[in-house]
Amino acid sequence: MDARTRTRELLAASPAHLCACSRVRSLDPAQLYYSRDLHFIKQVFDTLVRFDPVYQSLEPHLAYAWECDESACSWTFYLRKGVHFHHGRELTAGDAAWTHQTVLQPDGGRYVVKHAGLR
């Protein structure tokens, strides 16, 4: 048995329990509205990049590199290989694109879109 299979077996047998002082409204990142829900979402989902508050810069995470065109309207993210969802399927560019499109929908990503000035 390889290490990845053993790790999956151990994780499946060891559920995580998170306590909350109030009801979590959604674990859908596109439906994030309350900052208190962000703590739970960050425990479940990964992002393409992470923000380093010390250096005030973006760091690679699921994407190991990225670039944009001259207008900064079109971005390309290069995804790490070997990243898998909890059920074992490998992350694809289509998954990242679907998430991005969901957040930009009128009924998705209300908090993110409104407070990040994306619309």
Q: Which domains does the chain carry?
A: 22-115 (3.90.76.10)
Q: What is the CA radius of gyration of the chain?
A: 17
Q: Look at 51-60, 62-71, 107-116 and tell me which has the smallest mean pLDDT.
A: 107-116
For 56, the token pair is 């005030």
- 115 pLDDT more than 60: no
CA distances to 2, 33, 101 from 6, rounded to whole Å, are: 6, 37, 35
State how far the Cα of 22 lies from the Cα of 112, in Å rounded to an integer.
21
Query: Mean pLDDT score of the chain, rounded to an integer?
Result: 79
State how far the Cα of 53 lies from the Cα of 6, in Å rounded to an integer.
35
Q: 60-105 pLDDT, tens per residue?
A: 999 999 999 999 989 999 999 999 988 889 999 999 998 888 777 7
Q: What is the mean predicted confidence (pLDDT) over 100-112?
A: 66
